[in-house]
């Protein structure tokens, strides 16, 4: 297994005389991968929080209303997060794993949405699908716009 | 009132579900189509249907249903991917993803009902 702690300075540039050159600007698009243990930990911690938050919303707002609320709010926040992360490189990968793949993807859910449909009459079920898809897709666009206006990545 | 055992069950289920989702989508999502996201949403809906209709205990429902299936499936990634495909002119994959996910997840719930309902 790879080390969970990435080596931050793998290639220190040397002058012809052997002295280390001053550090170059850190890359904003650093492709260095995390170790598997770090990926697992980031996603697991984020997902724990996201699932518990969804459970909490469901206690206060049971049924389709709660599912709709988490899906729309989570889609907006994911749009914001991914826009923010563009071009931010290495550090943003940790944030994307913990908050995107972990927290927000676990906060939102498709299975509860699909199960909700079984308890609704056909016209209400259709309205629920249209509302969830419509507001969810709109939320992605709004979230990304907010991410850009809040100072999206340098790319 | 949230009691601690319920929170722990949901959280642990959520962590496991999210890791299984991450592995599945990493393996199956492709540039042409988010096969992995569709698979997790359909499979997770089927399993949630199973534990719900089979009448398992409250604790199992919190761990596997609310935590596990809830986190294994995702709406935000689905919505983001679908919107992105619409924007980049991939209208057919976007429409197939939007309607196909709904159809596959609903079929999963229906199959669960047939099996254990």
Contact (Cβ atoms closer than 8 angstroms) between residue A13 and residue A21:
yes
pLDDT at A91: 73
pLDDT at A5: 42
In eight-state DSSP terms, residue B117 is: -
Global pTM reads: 0.85
Looking at the partner chain, which of A49, A111, A137 has a beta carbon nearest the beta carbon of B73?
A: A111
pLDDT at B3: 54
Average pLDDT over residues A89-98: 85
pLDDT cut 90: percent of chain A above it = 65
- Whether A38 contacts chain B with CB within 8 A: no
pLDDT at A152: 56
Average pLDDT over residues B58-87: 97
The alpha-carbon gap from A107 to the nearest alpha carbon of chain B, in Å, equals 7
The alpha-carbon gap from B53 to the nearest alpha carbon of chain A, in Å, equals 10
Residue A49: list chain B partners with CB under 8 A. Answer: 11
Complex-level ipTM beyond the 0.90 threshold: yes
User: Strand, coil or helix: what is B54?
Assistant: coil
* Rg, C-alpha atoms of chain A: 21
Which token pair is B15?
């962590």
């Amino acid at each position: 297994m790879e080390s969970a702690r990435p080596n931050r300075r793998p290639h220190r540039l040397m002058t012809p005389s052997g002295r280390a050159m001053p550090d170059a600007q850190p890359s904003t698009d650093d492709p260095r991968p995390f170790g598997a243990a770090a990926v697992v930990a980031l996603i697991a911690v984020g997902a724990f929080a996201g699932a518990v938050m969804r459970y909490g919303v469901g206690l206060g707002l049971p049924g389709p209303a709660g599912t709709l609320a988490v899906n729309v709010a989570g889609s907006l926040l994911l749009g914001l997060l991914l826009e923010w992360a563009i071009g931010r490189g290495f550090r943003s990968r940790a944030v994307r794993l913990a908050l995107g793949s972990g927290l927000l993807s676990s906060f939102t859910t498709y299975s509860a949405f699909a199960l909700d449909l079984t308890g609704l009459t056909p016209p209400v079920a259709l309205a629920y699908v249209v509302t969830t898809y419509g507001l969810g897709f709109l939320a992605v666009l709004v979230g990304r716009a907010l991410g850009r206006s809040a100072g999206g990545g340098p790319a | 009132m949230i009691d601690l055992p319920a929170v722990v069950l949901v959280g642990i289920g959520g962590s496991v579900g999210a890791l299984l989702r991450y592995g599945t989508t990493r393996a199956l999502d492709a540039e042409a189509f988010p096969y992995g996201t569709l698979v997790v949403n359909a499979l997770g809906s089927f399993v949630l249907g199973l534990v719900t209709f089979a009448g398992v205990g409250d604790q199992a429902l919190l761990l596997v249903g609310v935590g596990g299936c809830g986190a294994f499936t995702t709406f935000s990634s689905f919505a983001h991917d679908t919107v992105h495909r619409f924007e980049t002119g991939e209208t057919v994959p976007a429409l197939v993803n939007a309607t196909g996910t709904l159809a596959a997840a609903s079929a999963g719930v229906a199959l669960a009902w047939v099996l254990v309902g």
